[in-house]
Chain A
Amino acid sequence: VTGGGARLEDLAAATLERVLAVNVAGSMLRAREAVRRMSTARGGSGGAGEWVHYAVSKGAIDTFTRGLAREVAREGIRVNAVAPGLIATDIHATSPIPQRLERMTERVPMRRPGTPDEVAEVVLFLLSPAAAYVTGAIVPVGAAAEPSRGRRRTNRKRKRGGRLAQLGERHLYTVMVGSSSLSSPTVKPRAGARDRRANLSRYFVLLFAPLLIAFGMQQHRGWMTRDANANDPWMYVASGRGDAIAIFDLVEAGTPQVGEITNVGPVPNGLALDKRGTLYVANWNANQDGGNVQIFPAGATIPSLTLTKNLTVPLTIAVDAHGNVLVVNRGSSPGVVIFPPGKTTPSHVLTGALWQSAEGVALDPAQNLYVADGSDVVVVTAGSAQPVSLHLQGLTGAVGITVDQINGNLFVSDRNVDKVFVYAPGHVQASYELDPSISSCDIIHGAKGFHTDIFVPDCFNGNVSVFHHNAKSPFEVLNVPAPGNEPGASQIALKPAGVP
């Protein structure tokens, strides 16, 4: 059980609980049963061993350290563990077996227990810039302790599991995280790193959970999990031809339609939702000039504001973290029209020779803006008004786009070849394609279970395929007929749980 490939900071407590219950507790229970049977078969007094529990959690922490280190290495965070050997702390004074320390000292080549300060020195080294290139390391600080000789002779078959666990009776595992300020100053943080820095403590909160749950402690639900009373995630769907927006409940079986917004038009195409639940609709009708953007406050069926200035063919729409409304406008001079929050006059109109056929739009967590633009993707870096081509290879009719909020991968749909290509950050060649059965118009990143999933609506068959953020095949296909007698959704937007 892996929990679906979410990154640590997106891990829901409930998922973690399940993964660890199955992987750790499950392994331990299986081991317990196996040991019970083995010891009966032997008729000996081997028993389950008092440190099996520890050995399992130790393995969990080894794996956790290495896995997390790889996961966050590019974000300026290093993760290392220290595995202390026999250390003289007050723990040993309270050991159920007196003289244990003395007895174990005989097995340590240095013939003395270590001191907490000797471990602390290694910890401080790993935290320091001197260890800027060290991550995912499990550093033993243990004087090369060896297993008990007596037991090894009499019970060879069990030496691997039993001995290691035994020596590790009071090993303390220490996981360390150094932020980018502690790592090499020559490593330039990638875009968004500063934002992540500000929220660094969010990453850390989760670090505790695996350690805790591995020890079977009580896990409290409620954080990052869905409140039973909160609003469910909803999916808003527009066909690009009909005259309404349909709303579907993503949690209920069968994804039933739960609502409809009809006071839209002329024809709703692009959809966006902000974190307050405000709905933004880009409207455009192929048969008449001019389009608009309608803004519906959460729960409203009548727009509170309509934007029209500089909008000739508004196709898609996004809202950034500051509430700026970013409208992709094709028209005779394609580009992006940016309206400050609450304003009906744009602050920026980004057009020029660069643009080809601007359509899909997406924002990454650092608020960089990406627009699918025919044979390329255009990026407008946060704080800049200068669109730049990414020079992506293999695109001819880029139409939909989203950014994986976790690893920065760009998902781009191409209407000419009916494929969705995935580009890793900084790469111009696609690293993989999504399931070729999906012919996508729009493509978005959104919330269902994890907020890392990728939603790909198919405007020809009425299905929306949902992909884990790093999967090539969908884990779920939702059937959501688009409004207006159209076969399928062209554009969708998601309202996460908890948003009004």
Chain B
Amino acid sequence: VDTLLVTGGARGIGAAVAALAAAHGYRVVVNYAESEGRARDLVSRIEAKGGAALALRCDVAQERDVVAMFETIDGACGPLAGLVITRA
């Protein structure tokens, strides 16, 4: 399974990308900064449809957070197949 990271994935276009990618068979990592509720809802919706998703909080303005997020993904999902950056 290819892992896809979507930053800003909890809202708007990011959320749409995450949901569609999960439907296409990607394991989706939904990165959010503040929208924890939306991120969890999205993950639940993806899982309800049989998809694989993971919500990770990361303030992408904090370099340490970014590095930690990638390390978490390395450990949990292995190498990334793709990255989608959205900003809202």
Identify which of A120, A178, A221 contacts B13 (C-beta below 8 A).
A120
In the complex, which residues of chain A have a beta carbon less than 8 angstroms from the beta carbon of B41?
none
Given A207-B83, A217-B61, 11 extra CB contacts under 8 A: A119-B13, A119-B17, A120-B20, A127-B84, A172-B87, A172-B88, A176-B85, A179-B81, A204-B80, A205-B67, A215-B87
CB nearest to B69 among chain A residues: A205
- In angstroms, Cα B4 to Cα A218, docked, is 26
In the complex, which residues of chain B have a beta carbon less than 8 angstroms from the beta carbon of A55?
none
The verdict on A394 contacting chain B, using a C-beta distance below 8 Å, is: no
Identify which of B11, B16, B24, B85 contacts A117 (C-beta below 8 A).
B16
CB nearest to A214 among chain B residues: B87
In the complex, which residues of chain B have a beta carbon less than 8 angstroms from the beta carbon of A200?
79-80
CB nearest to A174 among chain B residues: B86
Count of chain A residues with a beta carbon within 8 Å of a chain B beta carbon: 46
The verdict on A416 contacting chain B, using a C-beta distance below 8 Å, is: no
CB nearest to B63 among chain A residues: A220
Q: How far is the CB of B25 from chain A (nearest CB, A)?
A: 11
Inter-chain contact B85/A174, CB cutoff 8 Å: yes
Can you list 24 A-B contacts (CB < 8 A)?
Answer: A89-B13, A90-B12, A116-B15, A116-B17, A119-B17, A123-B20, A123-B84, A124-B20, A124-B21, A124-B24, A172-B88, A174-B86, A176-B84, A178-B82, A182-B81, A201-B73, A201-B74, A201-B79, A201-B80, A204-B5, A207-B85, A211-B85, A221-B63, A222-B63
In the complex, which residues of chain B have a beta carbon less than 8 angstroms from the beta carbon of A187?
none
Q: How far is the CB of A16 from chain B (nearest CB, A)?
A: 10
Q: How far is the CB of A416 from chain B (nearest CB, A)?
A: 46
CB nearest to A204 among chain B residues: B83
The verdict on A177 contacting chain B, using a C-beta distance below 8 Å, is: yes
- Mark contacts of A172-188 with chain B using CB atoms, 8 A cut-off: 1 yes-contact digit, 0 otherwise: 11111111011000000
Count of chain B residues with a beta carbon within 8 Å of a chain A beta carbon: 35
The verdict on A454 contacting chain B, using a C-beta distance below 8 Å, is: no
List of 6 A-B pairs having minimum Cβ-Cβ separation, nearest first: A116-B16, A89-B12, A120-B16, A220-B63, A217-B61, A120-B20
- In angstroms, Cα B84 to Cα A175, docked, is 6
Q: Which of B1-52 contact A (CB under 8 A)?
A: 2, 4-5, 7, 11-13, 15-17, 19-21, 24
Contacts A89-B11, A200-B79 given: A117-B20 contact, CB under 8 Å?
Answer: yes
Contacts A124-B20, A127-B21, A181-B2 given: A205-B66 contact, CB under 8 Å?
Answer: yes
Inter-chain contact A172/B86, CB cutoff 8 Å: yes
The verdict on A219 contacting chain B, using a C-beta distance below 8 Å, is: yes
